[in-house]
Amino acid sequence: MPQIVVAKNIHGIVLAAENRVVQLNEEGKETEFNMDCLIPLTPHSALLVTGAAEGSEMGRTLKNFIEEEKMTDVQDIYGASLAFLSTEYERFMRKKCELLPIDPLHQVSFVLAGRTEKDQQNPFRLYFLWTKKKLPRLDGDEISYAFSIPRRMGLEFQLNKMGQENIFLEKILKKVAEGMEHLKVRGEVSSFLSYATITREGFQSVNP
């Protein structure tokens, strides 16, 4: 499962994704390859994908849908994304499980990040879309300050504290990058990493 880490505060959002996915072939064996797991959706929103490789394709399909609907506010995008991705995920699961039994590798999780104009006190939002109840259904929850998949509780604790204190976004980005590099040294993530921020100026890929 690709590692993703997200964090936010009043200044914006930091996003990090490992671009490595695991795919099951027709024989049921695992194959590993690289794919972009951080997908910009609009000038002020993005989607992170972890789990099965098909999640990235679902994300690109969602991007086209959001563009066609001309959505810009992340709160509107969240509602539309939950319904759209739930349909795409159910279609994927039904097709996949005709050939193979249900397995954790089939699961796909998403984090939606973006800006809203509807709440000036809390303009940046993070949402976790996942199989909360029962396969193949997706549910959603809002993320307060920080989250990671797979869970990295020590890093999340530090990022949550920084988010509550509204630390400058550059320092949060540095902490996220340090966390990912630590995981890379331990061999738990690959070298294919992507970082980005979302601020009032919009989505921007960064190289911390």
* DSSP type of residue 121: T
The overall longest dimension of the chain from CA atoms, in Å, is 52
What is the Cα–Cα distance from 208 to 202, expressed in whole angstroms?
Answer: 17
**pLDDT confidence of residue 191:** 86
Q: What is the pLDDT along the chain (208 residues), one digit of tens a residue?
A: 899 999 999 999 999 999 987 666 667 677 777 888 999 999 999 999 998 778 888 999 999 999 999 999 999 999 999 999 988 888 777 666 555 545 444 578 999 999 999 999 999 999 999 877 655 568 899 999 999 999 999 999 999 999 999 999 999 999 999 999 999 999 999 889 999 999 999 999 999 8
Q: Which residues contact 172 (CB under 8 A, 6 or more apart)?
A: 7, 9, 14, 159, 162, 163
What is the Cα–Cα distance from 97 to 27, expressed in whole angstroms?
Answer: 13
**pLDDT confidence of residue 157:** 98
Looking at CATH, the fold of the domain delimited by 4-206 is given as: Glutamine Phosphoribosylpyrophosphate, subunit 1, domain 1 (3.60.20)
Q: How far is CA 92 from CA 42, 48, 102, 104, in A?
A: 25, 18, 12, 14
**pLDDT confidence of residue 104:** 46
> What are the residue boundaries of the structural domains of the chain, listed by start?
4-206
**pLDDT confidence of residue 98:** 54
pTM of the predicted model as reported, rounded to 2 decimal places:
0.90
What is the Cα–Cα distance from 153 to 181, expressed in whole angstroms?
Answer: 16
Whether 150 contacts 1, CB under 8 Å: yes
Whether 173 contacts 142, CB under 8 Å: no
What is the Cα–Cα distance from 84 to 61, expressed in whole angstroms?
Answer: 9
